[in-house]
């Protein structure tokens, strides 16, 4: 089975990992960024912004370039940024990963929100199962992804208790 310029297994693996393994952490970190800003915890906010930049760059690269496997954490930011050169979201990812020390906390949070929204528009709506309003929609979406992964013969990247038969 083929999709546009990729076999279905690679497409399903890359998109599911971009969405569930990497991308799912971005909305969670975004909640943490709001908390750090409200509590006046600048160093924590800077750390979280770096993690958001990393998650967004890797998710975007895996989804767009269908790159697999994903390198281990210390290497993955540079791996993703190298492959995203020339993309409009390269700069915002790079700025967050590099660290933003010369802007107010409110602007850091705004940059994180914009980047997560723009990456979500490309990768897909990144689920946040930790938020009360996101748990059941994430489980429903997870079941659809597991069905796709089963059809193409790939192991789903989700915990088995998320995907119990309905």
Q: Which residues pair with 7 in a beta bridge?
A: 2
Domain map (residue ranges) of the chain: 2-126
* pLDDT for res 160: 59
Q: What is the dihedral of CA 90, 92, 96, 102, to 10 degrees?
A: 130
Residue ranges of the chain with per-residue pLDDT less than 50? 1-3
Distance CA(89)–CA(60), nearest Å, equals 9
* pLDDT for res 30: 92
* pLDDT for res 81: 96
- Selected from 1.20.1630, 1.10.1200, 1.20.1180, 1.20.120, the CATH number assigned to the domain covering 2-126 reads 1.20.120
Q: What is the pLDDT of residues 36-78, one digit of tens each?
A: 999 999 999 999 999 999 999 999 999 999 888 889 988 999 9
Cβ-count burial of 23 within 10 angstroms (0-12 exposed, 13-18 middle, 19+ buried)?
buried
């Amino acid at each position: 089975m083929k999709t546009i310029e990729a076999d279905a297994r690679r497409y399903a693996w890359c998109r599911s990992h971009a969405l569930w393994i990497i991308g799912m952490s971005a909305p969670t970190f975004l909640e943490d960024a709001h908390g750090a800003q409200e509590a006046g915890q600048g160093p924590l906010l800077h750390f979280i912004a770096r993690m958001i930049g990393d998650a967004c760059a890797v998710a975007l690269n895996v989804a767009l370039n269908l790159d697999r496997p994903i390198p281990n954490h210390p290497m993955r930011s540079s791996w993703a940024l190298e492959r995203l050169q020339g993309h409009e979201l390269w700069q915002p990812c790079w700025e967050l990963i590099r660290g933003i020390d010369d802007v107010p906390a409110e602007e850091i949070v705004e940059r994180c929100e914009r980047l997560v929204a723009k990456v979500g528009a490309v990768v897909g709506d990144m689920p946040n199962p930790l938020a009360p309003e996101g748990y059941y929609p994430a489980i429903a979406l997870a079941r659809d992804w597991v069905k796709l992964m089963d059809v193409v013969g790939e192991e789903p990247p989700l915990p088995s208790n998320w995907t119990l038969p309905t």
